[in-house]
Amino acid sequence: MTENREEVNVIPLSQMGMIQAMLTEELAGTREQLGTLTEALDRPHVLNDEIIARVKKVYTDQQGMLYAYEITLERWKALTLTPAQLQRVQTMEGQLKDLTAVTAQVLELADKLSEGTINKVLGMSDLEVALLYLSQQKKR
């Protein structure tokens, strides 16, 4: 997450509230997406290749931009902060750690689900569909 460090714009400390709100919203949205994808684990055929491709693009892009938060928080920690500001920065560091992990989980789950999309099922022979069904029953 440390590439392109010099390309990150300096975000003033006065924007701490905005950055914290952005992190909070991204984390909530990513957790929601993880929940949605988790619900589809038992029935990946309800998804199509386009949905999976979109999820992968959005969350790969998000993953690629997380370093900007990391750099911003590092820069802020290097300043002389009040105890309240330091606590907020530490809270955001925790959110960033969680966001990084949840984003990786979303991408991992999208890869797993891509194997059973409706597009893949429609391209299978009857025997392949039966084997897929039986393998899913065995997992339960």
* CA 9 centroid distance within chain: 23
Pairwise CA distance, residues 58 & 64, whole Å: 10
**127 band by pLDDT with thresholds 50, 70 and 90:** confident
Residues 110 and 38: beta-carbon distance below 8 Å = no
| Residue in 8, 125, 14, 106 with CA at minimum distance from that of residue 60 | 106
Q: What is the pLDDT of residue 1?
A: 47
Please provide the distance, in angstroms rounded to a whole number, between the alpha carbons at the two ends of the chain: 37
What pTM does this model have?
0.83
